[in-house]
Amino acid sequence: MSVALVIVSHSKKLAEGVAELTGQMNSGQVQILPAGGTDDGELGTSAPRIGAALEDALAGGHEALILMDLGSAYLSSTLALEFLTEEQRQRVALAEAPLVEGAFLAAFEAASGGSLAEVRAAAEGGHELKKIAD
């Protein structure tokens, strides 16, 4: 069972940019769905947009990992989970991870055939990814 990524951001452009960057880095092997902004195009998050991305990600029996930018993205994501069936919710995880680094590491692990738990752990390892060597 493959793992798709759902990128939740307050900015539609940011979510699309993270999805684009991450998708190019893994040669499109992993389904990456942006769910950014509100339904009227403003900054914010939308549980229905996140829910629609999750439905797409879960189609065909796949699993999904949600990566989020800021705290209220978590609230909207958990609300979106309420609209799924219990069986669908069992195939979704939320990552406590930095958005860009977490998405990159998660996509790499997912492309390697990692389980949902392994993909989540990889994303959460993004906290340790150093940009500048000491």
Q: Which residues contact 103 (CB under 8 A, 6 or more apart)?
A: 5, 7, 18, 19, 21, 22, 32, 67, 97, 123
Residue 70 domain-assigned (yes or no): yes
Residue numbers of the domain that contains 32: 3-128
Catalytic residue among 3, 9, 10, 49: 10
Domain total in the chain:
1
Whether the per-residue pLDDT at 75 is higher than 80: the answer is yes
Q: Given this model, what pLDDT does residue 53 score?
A: 97
The pTM of the full predicted model, rounded to 2 decimals, is 0.94
> Tokens for 105?
């590491």
Per-residue pLDDT of 89-126, as tens digits, reads 999 999 999 999 999 999 999 999 999 999 999 999 99
Q: In the annotation, is 62 catalytic?
A: no
For the segment 14-40, the average pLDDT, to the nearest whole number, is 92
Residue 67 domain-assigned (yes or no): yes
